[in-house]
Amino acid sequence: MTYTYETNGAAIYKQSFAMIRAEAALARFTPEEEPIAVRMVHAAGMVGLEQHVRMSPDFATAARAALGTGAPVLCDAHMVSEGVTPARLPNENQVICTLRDPSVPGRAAEMGNTRSAAALELWRPHLKGALVAIGNAPTALFHLLNMLQDPDCPRPAAIIGCPVGFVGARESKDALWADQPVPCLIVEGRLGGSAITVAAINAIASRAE
């Protein structure tokens, strides 16, 4: 049997986004937020995800401004950092993931926490004004919130908080949304993951100046 299917990559791309905009409930997003939500839906392959996306009013502006000034992107997992498209970044921004640093296992043991959480301690020199992207580990998001309770801890410009899973994912995002130490984006509940986190970063980067 010979299968007939669309073979033009540009046409597939155009049709996919047209279908999302036709089917998804996007009216509540501002013009600055809508492209972020659309790309997240596209990455998930799930119309309906947009109903769980929450952005604080100044998130899109703050995140884009940070990238425009050359701020780094700090990622909790290599699945996130490897997905960022360098060509989209507006100012040769560094994309940093510290999870594989040799000191992390020892730090985790000392802290009595996961390696994902311990790796964030290595973010401190880069954290001021950064775009933070947590797309995997709830423990990383919880630890970041604990770090930011210290008035001496540098403050990022914005946080994408989309960890995925069954233990702590919902709770960590609820905590971020309730606290909002800086402008933030979350996906409510257990939904989340590296792909939609990367999609949000790339959407922000594409429109940053």
Catalytic hit among 42, 52, 78, 126: 42
> Which residue bears the tokens 């046409």?
11
78 an active-site residue?
no
Choose among 74, 37, 39: nearest CA to 157: 74
Structure tokens at 158: 């914005």
Contact 32, 65 (CB under 8 A): no
Which two structure tokens, joined as six digits, stand for 16? 């996919």
Task: State the Cα angle at 166 between 162 and 171, rounded to 5°.
Answer: 60
- Assess contact for 40 and 200: CB atoms under 8 A: yes
Q: Which residues are catalytic?
A: 42
